[in-house]
Amino acid sequence: MQLYNSLSQRIEDFAVVNNTVRIYTCGVTPYDTTHLGHAFTYAVTDVLVRYLEYLGHNIEYVQNVTDIDDDILRKAGETGENWMELGNRWTTHFIKDMQHMNIRPPDHYPRATDVIPEIVTMVQQLIDGGVAYENNGNVYYSVEAWPEFGNLSHLDHDAMLPIANERGNKPDDTNKKDPLDFVLWQAKVGDEPAWESPWGMGRPGWHIECSTMSTMLLGETLDIHVGGGDLQFPHHECEIAQVEPLTGKPFVRVWMHVAMVEHEGEKMSKSLGNLIMMNELLEQVPIDVARIYLAWHHYREAWEYDEVEFKKATQLTEKLHQALTVKSAKSDVFDPTLHIRGFNDAMQNDLDTPAALKALGQFADEILVAAEDGQNVSQAQQELCRCGRVFGMDFGKDNAYPEVVEGWEKHLQRFEPVA
C-alpha cells in the first residue's frame, strides 16, 4: 500500500510490521457539536482502519479527547456551565454522531485529564533534556533547542510565527525566551481548574496532551498519525518536537493530513459560523448516502459542501443495494476476482476512495448483468458487501455493526454527567 507522507511530501510505500498497524487520530475538543469538517476526518480514518482490517492486518487505534483546553474554559465561562460537565455533554454528542455514522470506535479513547501525572512526567523529562524551561510557574518548549522544528510544516521561524499567532500562540508573553516557544504547562489563573506539579498548580498545554497519550498507549513510534490539515502546524509540529528529543527515534512513520471542507467559499469552522452539523445531515439522508458522499472526495483535496452531490451518492447507493439483492441463479458461478481488482488498486494508491467507489459501481453493474444472464452471483455479492463495509455502509440493515454500537457505548460510560 502507498500513502502520502506530509513529512517527506511524497507518496511512500507503507510496509506493515508484525501484521499490526498503530494509528493515532487527534480527537475533538468537546465544546460544541460535530460538523461536517470533523466528520470527514473521522470518516477518512475509519476507511483507513477498515481497509487495513479488510487486508487482514491487526489495528491498534487511539483517538483522544482534549477535555481541558482554553476553548472549553471560555465556553464554560460564557454559559456558566461546569467545564467538565460541558466537556462530557459534548463528548456524548460526538460519540452518538460516530455511532450513527457507523464509524468504528478506537481501541483506546483517553482524556487529557486522565493522564495528568504522565504529562507532568513528560514535561519534567523535557526540562531535564534541555529543550524546555520554567518561568514563573509556566513551562515552555524552547524551539531554538530543537533544530528540526519546522520539518513537518516545511516552514522557517519567520513563516511559522504569524501562523502560530493565528492559532493561539501568545507572542507577547514576557515569560518566553522566543515568541515561538510554546507552553507545556501553564500556571493557574484565577479559579480555573488546576493540578499539582513541581512548578506549582496549573494545567497542561494542548500539544503535550497528545504526545503523552499517543506514546503511552502506542509506544515511541506510531505507524500512522491522522489529523486535519489545520493541525499540521503548530500542533503536529509540536508533537514531534516533544517526543523525538526523549526517544531519539522518529515519532511517526506516516503523517496523513486530511483536507479542509469548505462551505460558502470558506473553510468550515466554528469561528466563521458556516457549519453543516452532522446530526442535521443524517436527518436528511441515509447513512450509506452520507458515507459515500464523504468518500467521493479524496482525503488530500479540499472540497466544497454541495447538496447536488447527494444525488450522485444516492444513485451509487441504490445501484449497490440493487446488486446485493438481485436474485442469484444456481449455475455458472460468476467469479468476482477480476472485478474487485480496480477497487483494491485504488485503495492501495493513497486511499483513492473516489476511484474505489467508481470501481464498486462498475462491479455492481457486472453483477447485475451476470445475474440477468443466469449466473450465480452470490460469491460476488459477498465480496461487494465486504468492499462496501470498508466505507461503513450498512445496506439498509438495522444494527449492521453491533461492534460499533457496543464499542462506543463502552467509551460512553466514562462520560457520565457530573454530580
Residue 119 belongs to a domain with what CATH number?
3.40.50.620
416 inside domain:
no
Q: Residue 394: pLDDT band by 50, 70, 90 thresholds?
A: confident
Using an 8 Å Cβ cutoff, are 229 and 260 in contact?
yes
* Together in a domain, 257 and 307: no
- Measured CA to CA in angstroms, residue 81 lies from 15, 31, 88, 149, 224 at distances of 47, 11, 11, 38, 36
List pLDDT tens digits, range 35-58: 899 899 999 999 999 999 999 999
In the prediction, which pLDDT does 276 show? 86
* Together in a domain, 310 and 250: no
Using an 8 Å Cβ cutoff, are 320 and 364 in contact?
yes
* Together in a domain, 259 and 307: no
In the prediction, which pLDDT does 170 show? 95
Q: Give the pTM.
A: 0.95
333 inside domain:
yes
What percent of the chain has pLDDT above 90?
84
List pLDDT tens digits, range 258-317: 999 998 777 777 666 778 888 888 888 999 999 999 999 999 999 999 888 899 999 999
Q: In whole angstroms, what is the distance from residue 243 CA to residue 249 CA?
A: 8
List pLDDT tens digits, range 191-235: 999 999 999 999 999 999 999 999 999 999 999 999 999 999 999
* Together in a domain, 244 and 169: yes
Q: In whole angstroms, what is the distance from residue 50 CA to residue 104 CA?
A: 8
Q: Which residues of 55-94 are buried (b: 16+ CB within 10 A; e: fewer)?
A: eebebbbbbbbbbbbeebbebbeeeebebbebbbbbbbbb
- Determine the structural domain holding residue 62 and report its residue range: 2-264
Using an 8 Å Cβ cutoff, are 194 and 203 in contact?
yes
CA torsion 106-107-113-116 (nearest 10°) is: -130
413 inside domain:
no
In the prediction, which pLDDT does 271 show? 66
What percent of the chain has pLDDT above 70?
98
* Together in a domain, 189 and 89: yes
404 inside domain:
no
In the prediction, which pLDDT does 174 show? 96
Which range (33-37, 186-190, 368-372) has the least confidence?
33-37
Please state, rounded to an integer, the average pLDDT across all residues of the chain. Answer: 94
The better pLDDT of the pair 279, 245 is held by 245
* Together in a domain, 154 and 214: yes
The better pLDDT of the pair 372, 23 is held by 23
List pLDDT tens digits, range 64-109: 999 999 999 999 999 999 999 999 999 999 999 999 999 999 999 9
43 inside domain:
yes
* Together in a domain, 54 and 159: yes
* Together in a domain, 68 and 168: yes
Q: What CATH number does the domain containing 338 carry?
A: 1.20.120.640
- Checking if the pLDDT of 419 tops 60, the result is no
In the prediction, which pLDDT does 249 show? 98
- Checking if the pLDDT of 349 tops 60, the result is yes
Among residues 124, 117, 27, the alpha carbon closest in space to that of 69 is found at: 27
Distance in Å from the first CA to the final CA of the chain:
48
* Together in a domain, 82 and 175: yes
Q: In whole angstroms, what is the distance from residue 131 CA to residue 243 CA?
A: 11
In the prediction, which pLDDT does 272 show? 67
282 inside domain:
no
273 inside domain:
no
- Measured CA to CA in angstroms, residue 341 lies from 104, 299, 355, 415 at distances of 25, 21, 12, 43
Q: What is the CA radius of gyration of the chain?
A: 23
Q: Compute the average pLDDT of residues 329-357.
A: 91
308 inside domain:
yes
Q: In whole angstroms, what is the distance from residue 344 CA to residue 207 CA?
A: 36
Domain total in the chain:
2
* Together in a domain, 301 and 232: no
